[in-house]
Amino acid sequence: MSTRTAAARAQIPWHWGAPPRASVPARTAELGPPITRTAVTRADPGSLMMWVAQLRRAPYSYDWIDNFGRRSPRRPDPALRDLESGDPLMYIFTVTGYGERHVEAKMTSRVPRAVFGEVVIRYDVHEVGTASVLQYTMWLPATSFLARIRRYLLAWADLPMARKQLLTLIALAQAVPVGQYDRPTPTKE
């Protein structure tokens, strides 16, 4: 095994994918270091952010687990183009901040919050040369020994879900770019 492969494996479950690109805001010590998932694509940043905004209606991960068995929509909803603070995100989060290339949300659903604590997530889109980087960052409470164990277990559980979500968002951004976003849906006659 090469040194690079060994170093990449040592980062799992705390990091997956390309090296993190986004400089994320510092969080309080009780939330612990960030957990990051990062993917690189040729899709344009506007298309990626368009699909990140679609997380308001579906999680775009393993639908049989986190979307009650319904398939996440494969056509963007033009009504969900602009994010606002207070918008729901993936059923259990609420948008707390956003910009042209990022969105941040906090877990607000009562039951998941009771189980996982004060979870904060953020999506960032960056251009790197001719590529775009889609980065997902998550902070979990780590104030006690039990909270650190919970954080470790959730990091492992989140890894396949977040990986699938990022890869799905990238595939959709490549298939339905932002230029096609406002086109009317074809109707059958």
Residue reference for tokens 């090469």: 2
Q: Is residue 7 part of a domain?
A: no
Q: Is residue 187 part of a domain?
A: no
CATH number, domain with residue 165? 3.30.530.20
Instruction: Judge contact between 73 and 57, C-beta under 8 A.
Output: yes
Q: Is residue 161 part of a domain?
A: yes
Full residue range of the structural domain in which residue 113 is found? 12-19+29-177
- pTM (predicted TM-score): 0.84
Tens of pLDDT, residue by residue over 50-69, are 999 999 988 888 876 665 67
Tens of pLDDT, residue by residue over 81-131, are 788 999 999 889 999 999 999 999 999 988 988 888 889 999 999 988 888
Q: Please, how many CA atoms are within 13 Å of residue 113, restricted to the half-sphere of its CB?
A: 12
Q: Is residue 114 part of a domain?
A: yes
Instruction: Judge contact between 44 and 52, C-beta under 8 A.
Output: no
Both tokens assigned to 149? 């164990």
Stretch among 24-33, 151-160, 167-176 having the lowest mean pLDDT: 24-33
Q: Is residue 132 part of a domain?
A: yes
Q: Is residue 182 part of a domain?
A: no
Residue 42 scores a pLDDT above 80: yes
How many separate domains does the chain show?
A: 1
Residue 147 scores a pLDDT above 70: yes
Q: Is residue 6 part of a domain?
A: no
Q: Is residue 185 part of a domain?
A: no
Q: Go through 40-78 and write b for each residue having 16 or more CB atoms within 10 A of its CB, e for each that does not.
A: bbebbbbbbbbbbbbbbbbbbbebeebbeeeebeeebee
